Structure 1
């Protein structure tokens, strides 16, 4: 028959134990995250308004976040392929910081609208492998980290429309191979070298972009970025970077090589009392050099090689305290220009029949010129004239005379040196009273434009030297360390 009382008591004990076990299990079970304060959550979606930062806790089944007005929310919800989305509206934070959404890895759609956002940080959307739609619209975004969208390999649609973007960091879309749509409308994009990469990307990507327009620079203002070509951008520039300081002062600097023969020769001091500059040159296969004499009793003298040495060939410009001499060709004829502290620069022309230099003309309105140096741009001849107190000038030969092109205020300048490096043309204006100014030739303007400043004490000469495919600028200093700079090419599009 059995024992009914005992059986019933056993079942009651089992029920009691099960109930106790269930209570303990309930106590140990982690409660699911609640909807954050300031947000409204449904089964799959969350809408956050006026929150101070991106909440870190959302219900685990939320797959969409949005940030829009209620009207836009309803329209998007009705058309969206998702059942719902998460939204941030008029929030109080101005930055999407890194790893803001690592606690919501299931997100597929995220929308920020009408917020005060102005920056998107590195790895802002880290941990969202399933995100397909990202809308950051009608904010104040002015800057984006180059790695802001890193890891969004599933993203299909990205909108940054109607923000304050003037540029985008290079390769900001790198790794986003699934992109089919990018919206950049309503920004103030400056179509300069920093945005060259975007033009290249537009021509290479399979994603589509709405028509967007350049807000600048003037050359591209109002033009469609979609119509620009990468080769339209001239993005290469250069600068002189400090390389080495030498622990001695100097008044001249130059590079030279030794040939098979070496010569040492004295110069007659009766003609040369105070040499200030030496210029070497060749005419019709014969070798010459000329020494500018700056003494009151000396004479600038031309020397000619006779097979055994250089000997006096012609005395020029006696008693004028010449400070510099420059050899150049004008109209395929050899010329010398002598600068002097006592009169205007004088131009001499070579007479081939007499094999002598003859005075041709002077350069008007340029008294007290310390030195004259020449350079050429696209076959046109220019000269740089250095003045210690006054205005140094650039002048161009017009076929009959030198005419002023540009004026440079110079105080304490004893060197205004043109320097050519490949296709780059510079003019370096030294000063005893301020920083040395480096100017770069602008072909479109036909003038020099400021390029950079160099800190050299009392510069006296500049010279270029090439070593192992590298180019260096040597700068002598009368009162400080002699400086060496390296000429570096810079791609502004990078």
Structure 2
């Protein structure tokens, strides 16, 4: 990269260049009279090899075709357009100093295959088109000094294979992601380039651009873009893999369970199978001993367990769930403890009971009743420090924490999370070694809590009136949280590792969201969204490099 010696070398070359050109022009003018004929346009002075234009209103088309040197001073036009000099193919020297140029367009110098020296100094140029210098295969010296350049498009200098000297001084470079490519280019180039400096932002002011490091830039961001619209309402979503194929199942309130299969050719979810249920609230797939089991929870008419039959290629009902315990199901969680499969249904009726079921070779059977009469709204299975816990939220009391007792093979009530009544949903996530809990409230504030070894402590409060869902999800190393509201836009948050808090990231317009599920397939990261009052949606998670 350029240092003081290179700067001196550059300006020595620069001085010698103008000195030599001055002698050439002087000798040329001395040996032949300046041309003032129809071949030299108004406001220009011409010889056979040179043209010098002052106050020109455009680039004249009537300049002598054979000139090798052209100068514009105090020109009144502002843009240099495509093919602006194509009618002067023999130019070797082009001086565009002290004008009012503001924009240099793509292919502005196309056709100047012999041009070696290009000086565009002391103008008001704020931007160059990415392909402005395309076609300048002989250019060796370039100066863009003393303009209003805050950045330069990446690969601007790529066509200039013979370039030796570049001067970018005297510009107002804003050192953000748009200039990161220039930093990297300065590190690896062997060109002679006098030092240039950041003018903004204030944190980098007067720092040498070539000395900036990657940590000075934060150029990778993300976005969620609508990818697929599924023409039905839904209130739950679950993702599973069976026989090496990817599936998703949605609970539709008036229809039942809708199964979609990932189409590896079209890269979309396509309709696959269904289970009829007139008041489905949850469809939970569980893979047990290579069997696909689906628990279907209904508000009316009872809840059932289905099994996939590979011979008939259909779901067959093979178990009923006790209606005396499960009257108004709200949520289902499935998990393993010591290789045994369990699922638990949160029941929100006054007379029902949240119930735990255990797989026993041929089916799931009632194992334990928890928290009767408390109108449970949600249940979450959490494993912390190799201890199995259930957290039940309720519309009648604070969330309750149960811990698994290995000798009794039951969950024992351990404690409650005080000060959080009427919680609609409870979800958790783990970040590094910490475990966090998300509690959703429809009236009042929702909260983020962190496990402190024996209890959860609130670390963040979120205004959440009208919210039914607060869920975490993760793509690669990026941790997100989504707050879905019935009264306003859905808000996606991103985790800030320094502040250890969630910060607002993006808003989505989703009517009455009820559940979010992430799924990754191939190079696609997708977010599934169940909506009670609108279409079911699939969003694509995009990673965007702002420096590209």
Give TM class, smaller chain.
Answer: 0.7 to 0.9
Match of 2:324? 270
CA deviations 1:336-381 (Å, max 9, x no partner) are: 2222223322222223333332333333333332111111122221
**TM-score, normalization by structure 1:** 0.82
**1:277 to partner: Cα distance:** 0.5
Instruction: Give the alignment partner of residue 37 of structure 1, picking from 38, 42, 45.
Output: 42
Match of 2:514? 460
Match of 1:161? 145
Whether 1:296 and 2:356 are equivalent positions in the alignment is: no
Residues 386 and 414 of structure 1 are in contact (CA less than 8 Å); yes or no, is this contact kept in structure 2?
yes
Instruction: Give the alignment partner of residue 261 of structure 1, picking from 278, 282, 291.
Output: 291
Task: Tell me the distance in 2 between the aligned counterparts of 1:183 and 1:444.
Answer: 39
The structure with the largest strand share of the pair is: 2
For the residue of structure 2 that corresponds to 1:131, the secondary structure is coil
Match of 1:135? 119
Whether 1:189 and 2:173 are equivalent positions in the alignment is: yes
CA deviations 1:66-107 (Å, max 9, x no partner) are: xxxxxxxxxxxxxxxxxxxx1322x32222111111122222
Matches within 5 A, 1:358-369: 358-369=412-423
Residues 72 and 99 of structure 2 are in contact (CA less than 8 Å); yes or no, is this contact kept in structure 1?
no
Match of 1:52? 57
Instruction: Give the alignment partner of residue 350 of structure 1, picking from 404, 423, 426.
Output: 404
For the residue of structure 2 that corresponds to 1:460, the secondary structure is strand
Q: How many equivalent pairs are there?
A: 443
Moved more, 99-108 or 361-370: 361-370
Q: 1:316 to 1:188 in 2, by over 3 A?
A: farther
Moved more, 475-484 or 215-224: 215-224
For the residue of structure 2 that corresponds to 1:425, the secondary structure is strand
Match of 1:88? 73
For the residue of structure 2 that corresponds to 1:344, the secondary structure is coil
Instruction: Give the alignment partner of residue 225 of structure 2, picking from 241, 256, 279.
Output: 241
For the residue of structure 1 that corresponds to 2:198, the secondary structure is coil
Residues 82 and 110 of structure 2 are in contact (CA less than 8 Å); yes or no, is this contact kept in structure 1?
yes
**1:459 to partner: Cα distance:** 1.2
Q: 1:291 to 1:62 in 2, by over 3 A?
A: same
Match of 2:474? 420
Task: Tell me the distance in 1 between the aligned counterparts of 2:162 and 2:210.
Answer: 20
Task: Tell me the distance in 1 between the aligned counterparts of 2:69 and 2:541.
Answer: 53
Match of 1:384? 438
Task: Tell me the distance in 2 between the aligned counterparts of 1:46 and 1:389.
Answer: 78
Q: 1:445 to 1:46 in 2, by over 3 A?
A: farther
Task: Tell me the distance in 2 between the aligned counterparts of 1:423 and 1:193.
Answer: 21
Residues 402 and 413 of structure 2 are in contact (CA less than 8 Å); yes or no, is this contact kept in structure 1?
yes
Matches within 5 A, 1:394-413: 394-413=448-467
Match of 1:205? 189
> Gaps spanning 5+ residues in structure 2: where?
1-35, 243-286, 294-304, 306-318
Task: Tell me the distance in 2 between the aligned counterparts of 1:408 and 1:43.
Answer: 76
Task: Tell me the distance in 1 between the aligned counterparts of 2:206 and 2:343.
Answer: 58
Moved more, 470-479 or 33-42: 33-42
For the residue of structure 1 that corresponds to 2:180, the secondary structure is helix
Q: 1:348 to 1:59 in 2, by over 3 A?
A: same
**1:460 to partner: Cα distance:** 0.8
Matches within 5 A, 1:56-67: 56-65=61-70
Runs (4+) off by over 6 Å: none
Instruction: Give the alignment partner of residue 224 of structure 1, picking from 208, 212, 216.
Output: 208
- Structure ID, larger Rg: 1
> Gaps spanning 5+ residues in structure 1: where?
1-30, 66-85
Q: CA RMSD in A?
A: 2.5
**TM-score, normalization by structure 2:** 0.75
Task: Tell me the distance in 2 between the aligned counterparts of 1:299 and 1:219.
Answer: 59
Matches within 5 A, 1:174-185: 174-185=158-169
Task: Tell me the distance in 1 between the aligned counterparts of 2:111 and 2:46.
Answer: 21
